[in-house]
Copies of this chain bind each other. A is one copy, B any other.
Amino acid sequence: MGEAAWRVVVRDGVTKLSVRNVAAEAGIAAGSLRYLFPTQEALRAYVLDLVRQRVTDRISGMSTQQPLRRAVEEYFSQLLPLDTERRVEMEVFLSVGVLALTDPALRPAYERAHHDLREGCRQMLALLATDPDYSALDPDSETARTHAFIDGLALHLLRQPLDESTTWATDELARHLDSLR
């Protein structure tokens, strides 16, 4: 059900995220969808929180049996729209997220996602700091900057079509992690 809403957003844009369009995309009657989401705001909030949920689920399912630096690099990669799945998530999150600027009902979902991401960054930096190479790294004081860098990188990746090369982004990520050493 949420995926149908995602498809609408990605294909037609946030402005077309309506009860009717989502219902049509999901193949059910509009009146039926309103049983699940009585108001449009409920629909938007659900869509937004579904992204957060998906991202955290995918991340928590990652294996960390790798060299430390490599594991951290892969973790941060999971926050970038490098394949279709993450691209869709990012587009939806950004599109609906900007609505949270003016719609207080969406703030909690957006804030929670932001908070989860920040904590994830902090934890990964803390993990990285256990590497002898990174003994000079102070995770707490580096979290905000790395978080901003990751989000900005994700933003810039959305500019380009999915089939174009994204090695520049992973290169920048690697360079950033190098600079923390």
A10 shortest CB reach to chain B, Å? 7
**Quick check: A13 and B99 within 8 Å, CB to CB?**
yes
Is A23 an interface residue, CB under 8 A from the partner?
Answer: no
Other-chain contact of A147, B13, B14, B15, B156 (Cβ < 8 Å): B156
Is A35 an interface residue, CB under 8 A from the partner?
Answer: no
The copy count of this chain in the complex is: 2
Quick one: which of A92-109 are within 8 Å of B by CB?
A: 94-95, 98-99, 101-103
Is A145 an interface residue, CB under 8 A from the partner?
Answer: yes
Given A15-B15, A152-B149, the answer on whether A159 and B98 have CB atoms closer than 8 Å is: no
Residues of chain B within 8 A of A150, CB atoms compared:
152
**Quick check: B155 and A13 within 8 Å, CB to CB?**
no
Instruction: Mark interface residues in A134-171 (1 if CB within 8 Å of B CB, else 0).
Output: 00000001001101111111011011000000001000
A148 to B144, CA, bound (A): 13
**Quick check: B148 and A103 within 8 Å, CB to CB?**
no
A103 to B145, CA, bound (A): 32
Quick one: which of A104-136 are within 8 Å of B by CB?
A: 110-111, 114
Main secondary structure of the interface of A (DSSP, over half): helix
**Quick check: B111 and A159 within 8 Å, CB to CB?**
yes
**Extra inter-chain contacts (15) besides given A13-B103, A141-B175, CB under 8 Å:** A13-B99, A13-B102, A94-B101, A111-B159, A114-B159, A144-B156, A147-B156, A148-B152, A148-B155, A148-B156, A148-B172, A149-B149, A149-B152, A151-B152, A179-B179
Q: Write 12 A-B pairs (CB below 8 A) sorted by A numbering.
A: A11-B102, A14-B14, A15-B99, A98-B98, A111-B159, A144-B172, A145-B175, A148-B156, A149-B149, A149-B152, A151-B155, A152-B152
